[in-house]
Amino acid sequence: MLAEVISHNIAATVATIGLCIYFLGTALVFIIKPVKYAEKYSMKPKDEAGKTEIRVYYGGISFALGLFLAILAFVFKQPFYSLVGGLIFSNAVFWTRLVFTFVDKGWKCAYTKLAIPAEGAFIVALWICFAVAVAVEHAI
């Protein structure tokens, strides 16, 4: 039954796999090496509780999102809804980052120069999967 669901939702399945790899990969690096990766994101914990917060919010929440999207797509057999959820989250992050990069004047930061184009490209790929799912695979 799952194979049939996936075969009728190829674009959403591909997008969900990409989203899961992104979120679960993010979770892994922030849980294992929170300070190292936080510094790459222009953050530095003030003390041990800050290190835990990095693990929780970047690791734990990313893990939860990746797991939620995987379960929605592959256990409940709803890859299109998983794609929609991933689009909502990814767009919220991207547009918040873009707006507040102007507000906070963060354009000069190395992380921002990487994050905005990378997140923007990822969102474009997700929207393409969404368009294919709707127009070609009749997901709606």
Q: Tell me, yes or no, whether 83 lies in a domain.
A: yes
Residue 23 has pLDDT above 90, yes or no: yes
Q: Does 86 fall in a domain?
A: yes
Range of the domain at 22: 2-135
Q: Of 36, 34, 79, which Cα lies nearest the Cα of 60? A: 34
45 close to 51: Cβ distance less than 8 angstroms? yes
Write the pLDDT tens digit of every residue in 40-78: 888 999 999 999 999 999 999 999 999 999 999 999 999
> For residue 73, what are the contacts with CB-CB under 8 A and spacing of at least 6?
12, 13, 16, 79, 81, 82
Domain count, the chain: 1
Average pLDDT over residues 109-134: 96
The stretch 1-21 carries a mean pLDDT of 93
- Cα radius of gyration rounded to whole Å, the chain: 17
- Assess if residue 140 is contained within a domain: no
* Span 99-108, average pLDDT: 94
In this predicted structure, what is the pLDDT of residue 96?
A: 97
pLDDT of the residue at 122: 97
Q: Letter for the amino acid at 129?
A: C
Per-residue pLDDT for 5 more than 90? no
Q: Quote the pLDDT of residue 2.
A: 82
Mean pLDDT of the chain: 95
> What is the rounded CA–CA span in Å between residue 27 and residue 106?
25
Question: What's the whole-model pTM score?
Answer: 0.90
Mean pLDDT of the 105-124 span: 94
Domain-located, residue 107: yes
Query: In this predicted structure, what is the pLDDT of residue 1?
Result: 81
